[in-house]
Amino acid sequence: MTTVQATAATRDALGPTLVRLQQSGAVDLVVVDADLGKSTTSRKFKDAYPERFFTVGVAEQNMVSVAGGLATLGYTVFASTFAVFIEHAFDQLRMSVAQPRLNVKIVASHGGVSTGEDGASAQSIEDIALFSSLATFKVGVPADVVEAEAMIEAAAKDPGPWYIRTGRPKLPVLYTDGSRYEIGKAGRLREGNDVTLVAYGLMVERALRAADVLAAEGIQARVLNIATIRPLDTAALEAAARETGAIVVAEEHLSHTGLGAMAAQALATRHPVPMEFVAIPDRYGESGTWDQVLEIMGLTPQGVVEAARRVVARKRA
């Protein structure tokens, strides 16, 4: 899998995909917004279908419960804001959506620390943990804009609650020949049998770059894109553990409550192998350009390379 020059933010997929889906007639969409529709791009849906777009003002709790009510009528309901601000409505997500398993899709943009300049208050480092703790939610993070579009479409057609984190930075397009996204299936982007690099979101491209560096050192890394975090593709993880014997999980999230913790739990009962984690330690972010903040957090290709060297050494010890 090679990367090309074209770049786009995963958040850019939302509005156009919603318009296309509604036009297709395959789903009966309504969209709820809390005054960030321009940034999440959901407002593009308003331009096409104003009567199907409801703004509630800056009121995320209301947004989520309103979305639940709308869903009881059979609509597929999309609600969006920034990842940090949807955290404002956790109990509403739990009781108005997750417990009654209503057909509400939360697509939150500006996920992770790569919002950059806005600083800590705007950086979501716990959203994956929060949504993964809602028992009936599916959780996904696309690695590029092509996958974002495919994931949004898959979620729209899959009944029940979903959380999709999109991002602000313009990222290289990885799936230049079209998405291979399937709900709950890890994407295998590079073959290798010395170690597996597991990632989601913008860390996938960074893991691919790390794999290039490792290859030059004679370490052949498999790269798995875990685009769906819940349900987790435990089969792909188990195969990776058995076939490569060492795993690095790289994610733009707090370490102890993210994919790394979930993958380690899944492997503990299936096939434990040495693991290393490239993620955010117990700290909050700060202002800077998005790639600077990622660097502060160690979320770089180099960080993945070093973790891979450590885990391979442990495997061989």
Partner 1 sequence: MVTTEQTDLQSVTRRIRRHIVNQVYAAKSGHIGGSMSSTEILSVLYGRILRHDPKRPDWAERDRFIMSKGHCTPLQYAILAEFGYIPVDELSTFRQKGSRLQGHSVLGKPAGVENSAGSLGMGLSFGLGIRLGLRLRGQDPHVYVLMGDGEQQEGQVWEAAMAAAHHGVDRLVALIDRNGIQNDDFTKNTMESTPLDEKYRAFGWEVRTDVDGHDLAAVEAALTWARDVRGKPACVIFDTVKGKGVSFMENNPNFHGAPPTDDEYARAMQELPA
Residue 129 CA to residue 199 CA, distance in Å, equals 15
Query: CA 265, 237, 124 angle in degrees (round to 5)?
Result: 65
Residue 60 or 251: the one with the smaller Cβ distance to partner 1 is 60
Using CB under 8 A, which of 9, 13, 21, 30 touches partner 1?
A: 30
Using CB under 8 A, which of 7, 24, 47, 57 touches partner 1?
A: 57
Least distance CB 90 / partner 1 (angstroms):
11
For residue 75, state whether it binds partner 1 (rule: CB under 8 A): yes
Residue 89 or 299: the one with the smaller Cβ distance to partner 1 is 89
The sheet carrying 162-165 orders its strands as: 53-55, 29-33, 76-80, 104-108, 162-165, 138-140, 228-230
Using CB under 8 A, which of 9, 18, 71, 273 touches partner 1?
A: 71
Least distance CB 280 / partner 1 (angstroms):
30
Using CB under 8 A, which of 13, 14, 21, 67 touches partner 1?
A: 67
Residue 104 or 224: the one with the smaller Cβ distance to partner 1 is 104
Rounded to whole angstroms, what are the CA distances from 206 to 7, 209, 213, 300, 301?
Answer: 14, 5, 11, 6, 5
Residue 68 or 169: the one with the smaller Cβ distance to partner 1 is 68
The one catalytic residue in 60, 147, 149, 251 is 60
* Residue 289: Cβ within 10 Å count: 12
Residue type, 288: G
Least distance CB 117 / partner 1 (angstroms):
29
Stretch of 11-19, 60-68, 128-136, 193-201 lying at the interface with partner 1 (CB under 8 A): 60-68
Rounded to whole angstroms, what are the CA distances from 284 to 214, 249, 281?
Answer: 30, 20, 9
Least distance CB 79 / partner 1 (angstroms):
10
Reported as half-sphere exposure (CB side, CA atoms, 13 A), residue 229 has a value of: 34
Of 88-107, binders to partner 1 (CB under 8 A) are 91-92, 94-96, 99-100
User: Is 60 considered catalytic here?
Assistant: yes
* Active centre residues (catalytic): 60
Binding site for partner 1 (CB under 8 A): 30, 32, 51-52, 54, 56-57, 59, 61-62, 64-73, 75, 91-92, 94-96, 99-100
